[in-house]
Amino acid sequence: MKRRDFSLAATSLGLLSLTANAARAQAPVPKAGTDYLVLDKRAPVDAPAGKVEVIEFFSYNCPHCNDFEPALEAWLKTAPKEMAFRRVPVPFVGNDVEAKQRFYYALEALGKVDEYQLKVFHAIHAQRQNVNGDANILAWAEKNGLDGAKFKEAFTSFGVASKARRASQLTDAYKVAGVPALAIAGRWYVDGELAGTMAKALQITNYLIGEAKKG
């Protein structure tokens, strides 16, 4: 979802069933400035030496991120081994964006992202539960199997608040226009609007990981 209206055809995610080799064989080489953007100034990266950082910019409040999450998780299982992946919650989409950012980083601090990422999206977008604002987030966490005290400690911690601020700064550094979006190696940016579909955006990400490995 864009800071303004952003549309994404959810049916396009079905294209991910194509094998990576077939997709590469059929697809033309992505074009900078058309299929993806090259940053004027490189953004900071947080990846081990020899790894290519890939960031998914997302929001729990974004219906398109909800649609994209299963495809993203499937892609992560087959993504290049040289990739270092992380998620960054953006400071837009909805009225409780800072709380949703801290929600993600609290889950990360407790090592619960893999277990709860889809559950949070499902609660918000499928079950239409009220998971807005600090009080409702804390209540939801406790009702859904998380240790309430430990989650609250993480959710209200200085470290999580600092990560939320850095997430907002990184969103600005990449000039993220809408979510879901992908950033590669501090150098490139692609989203569904540029690529045409998020399925193609993942193909372009694979291509750019290969480019980053070249130096």
Q: Could you give the 3-state DSSP secondary structure of residue 151?
A: helix
* Structural domain contains residue 26: no
Residue 16, in any domain of the structure: no
Q: Which parts of the chain sit beneath pLDDT 70?
A: 1-27
Looking at residue 215, what is its pLDDT? Answer: 80
Is pTM, for the whole model, over 0.85? yes
Report the number of secondary-structure helices (H) and strands (E) in the chain.
Answer: 9, 5
Measure the CA–CA gap between 51 and 13, rounded to whole angstroms. Answer: 27
What pLDDT is attached to residue 5? 42
Q: Is residue 155 part of a domain?
A: yes
Q: Is 203 inside a domain boundary? A: yes
Q: Determine, yes or no, domain membership for 4.
A: no
Assigned domain for 3 exists: no
Q: What pLDDT does residue 28 have?
A: 86
Structural domain contains residue 21: no
pLDDT at 20: 46
Overall number of domains in the chain? 1
Which helix or strand (DSSP H or E) is residue 66 part of? helix 63-76
Q: What is the CATH number of the domain that holds 121?
A: 3.40.30.10
In angstroms, rounded to a whole number, what is the distance separating the alpha carbons of residues 214 and 55?
A: 19
Q: Which residue range is the domain that position 92 belongs to? A: 31-44+51-213
Residue 3's pLDDT is what?
Answer: 47
Q: Is residue 62 one of the residues assigned to a domain?
A: yes
Strands 83-89 and 52-58: parallel
Q: Hey, what are 109's tokens?
A: 């601090």
